[in-house]
Amino acid sequence: MAAETSTAERDRTDKSPETTDRESDNAKPSSGEAKPASRAEVSNLDIVRHYFDRATEKMGLREDLRTVFWSPYREVTVQIPVKLSDGDVHVYSGYRIQHNGARGPYKGGIRFHPEVDIDEVRALASLMTWKTAIAGVPYGGAKGGVNCPAGDLEPKEVQAIARSFMDKIEKVLGPTRDIPAPDVNTNAQVMAWFMDEYGKLHGHTPAIVTGKPIELEGSHGREAATGRGCVYMFREAAPHLGLSPASTTFAVQGFGNVGSWAARIMQQLGCKMVAVSDASGAIHSEDGIDADDLYAFVKDGGKLPDFEGVDSIDPDDLIGVECDVFIPAALGGMIHEGNADKMRCRMLIEGANSPTTPAADEILKDKDVYVIPDVMANAGGVVVSYFEWVQNLQHFRWEEREVNDKLGTIMRRAYREVSARGREEGIPLREAAYLVGIERVVEAARTRGYVD
Ligand code: NAD
C-alpha cells in the first residue's frame, strides 16, 4: 500500500462516539501542520505484536501464557463531552488501558491526538510493560489517550478535556494502582490539571501523576528525561560504531519534548544537528542547526520551517539526510517499508514509540544500521517518573544532578544488560530487549502465582 493512502487509512479510525461539526477538524493533523511525513500501513499494535511474537517464540513461552501476557488486564473506554469555544458540545473518546501489573502499579503516559484509537493505546500499554521491566523499575505497563485535536484547541478546552477524562477514569487510578504521565500533546500543565482534579475527590495526592510542574512536586530533570535517556544510549553505543561526539552529525524527526531535549543534549556533547522536522515541516543545513536557538524560536511561536539560515526540505526527505545518528521522536510507523531504504544514518535511536515497522527493521538490518529500540531507548521518561513518584511518596526532593546521575546509572545498566544478551544470542538489540523484558514480567507473574 502506498504510504500516502496509509495516512488516510489511519484517520478513519479516529472517531468520536458522536459525529460533531469538528469531525472534519479531526481528520486533519494537529497543530495546523503542513504536509506531514508519510506513515506506515501497519498499526502500532501490529508492530508491537510482531516483536512480542518473535520473542515469545524464541523463549518457548507456552501458547496459553502468550495470550495472558499479550492481552491487556483492564481496558476502560469513556465518553468525553466538552463544550468548545464554537458553542457546541463535542464528544471525544478516552481510553485507559492497563496491560500488565505483575511487576508493580500500572504506569504510562496519556496522549491527546486525533489519531488516538484503542488499538494504538493497547500497543503503547504493552510497550510500557516491557519497558519498565527492561529498565528495572517496579512498575507494570499502561497507556491512555483521548482522540481530541489538542494542537488546535485553546488551553481552556484542553483543560476541560483533561478534567473530564480524569473524572471518568479516576476509579482505576491511584498512587499504588496506576500512575499516568505526559505523552504526545500533554505536558506538565496537563498533569497539574489531572492532579488537581484527582485531588478534589481524594485529597492532595501528588503521586497520582508524574511529569508535573516543578512547583507542584514535579521532579527536577523529568521534562528532559526521555531525551537525556536517548543521549545516554548514544554515549554507550557510540564506541561500538567508532563514533566520537565531536564528529557526530544527527537528525531529529519531531521537535517536541523528546526531540528537542535529545537535540539540545546531543549538542552539549559536541554533536552537530544537520536536519530536523516537526509537524509543520522540515529543515536541513550541513553547517549545523543550533538546537538551543531553534528551541527558543519554536517556543516563542516561530514555525520550524521559518527558522533562518537553513534550507526548508520536504518532510519525506528528512529520512534520507546523511548523518551518523537519526532520532525519530514524533509518532509511530514513520520509518516503514516505503522509506527505510532511503536512510543514510549509522545509528537509529528510537525516541518515539514504535517508529519502525518490522519490514523497515529488516531493511535497516540489511543496511547495517545499529538500532537502539524504543523499549529501551526512550525509557528515560518512565525512569525519572519513577524518581518523581518516589520523591512524592516521601515528600522530599532531589537535586537535578542527583536525578540525572541516577538516570544515567539505570540507562547504562539497561543498555549493558540488553547488549550482553544480544551478543550471547547473536541477535539485534530489539530482540534482546524484548526477551529481557518479557522474561522479567513472566517471572514476576509466576512468583506471584498469577500463572504457573
Ligand atoms: P510532543 O507532543 O512533545 O512532540 C511531538 C513532536 O512530533 C512535535 O514536535 C510534533 O510537531 C512532531 N510531529 C507530529 N507529527 C509529525 C510528523 N508527521 N512529522 C514530524 N514531526 C511530527 O510529544 P513527545 O512527548 O515528545 O513524544 C514524542 C514521541 O516520544 C511519542 O512517540 C511518545 O510516545 C514518545 N515518548 C515520549 C515520552 C515522554 O516522556 N514525553 C516518553 C517515552 C516515549
User: What CA–CA distance (Å, rounded) separates 43 from 41?
Assistant: 7
Distance 247 CA to ligand 1 centre (A): 27
pLDDT of 38 reads 73
Measured from the Cα of 258, ligand 1's closest atom is: 26
- The gap between the terminal CA atoms of the chain, to the nearest Å, is 42
Distance 146 CA to ligand 1 centre (A): 15
pLDDT of 22 reads 32
Read off the pTM.
0.91
> Helix or strand or coil: residue 174?
strand
Ligand 1-lining residues (CB < 6 angstroms): 31, 36-37, 182-185, 226, 253-259, 277-279, 315, 329-331, 351-353, 378, 381
pLDDT of 42 reads 86
pLDDT of 36 reads 57
Which amino acids are annotated catalytic? Answer: 143
Measured from the Cα of 280, ligand 1's closest atom is: 11
User: What CA–CA distance (Å, rounded) separates 416 from 406?
Assistant: 15
The whole-angstrom distance between residue 5's C-alpha and the CA centroid of its chain comes to 24
**Full pLDDT tens readout for the chain, 452 residues:** 233 223 333 333 333 333 333 333 333 333 334 455 777 678 999 999 999 999 999 999 999 999 999 999 999 999 999 999 999 999 999 999 999 999 999 999 999 999 999 999 999 999 999 999 999 999 999 999 999 999 899 999 999 999 999 999 999 999 999 999 999 999 999 999 999 999 999 999 999 999 999 999 999 999 999 999 999 999 999 999 999 999 999 999 999 999 999 999 999 999 999 999 999 999 999 999 999 999 999 999 999 999 999 999 999 999 999 999 999 999 999 999 999 999 999 999 999 999 999 999 999 999 999 999 999 999 999 999 999 999 999 999 999 999 999 999 999 999 999 999 999 999 999 999 999 999 999 999 999 999 99
pLDDT of 109 reads 97
Ligand 1 pocket test, pick from 30, 33, 158, 258 with the greatest ligand atom count within 8 Å of Cβ, gives 258
Give strand ranges (E) for 178-298: 178-182, 249-253, 272-278, 281-284
pLDDT of 441 reads 98
Distance 450 CA to ligand 1 centre (A): 35
pLDDT of 16 reads 37
Distance 249 CA to ligand 1 centre (A): 21
CB 360 within 8 A of CB 423: no
CB 173 within 8 A of CB 203: no
> Helix or strand or coil: residue 59?
helix
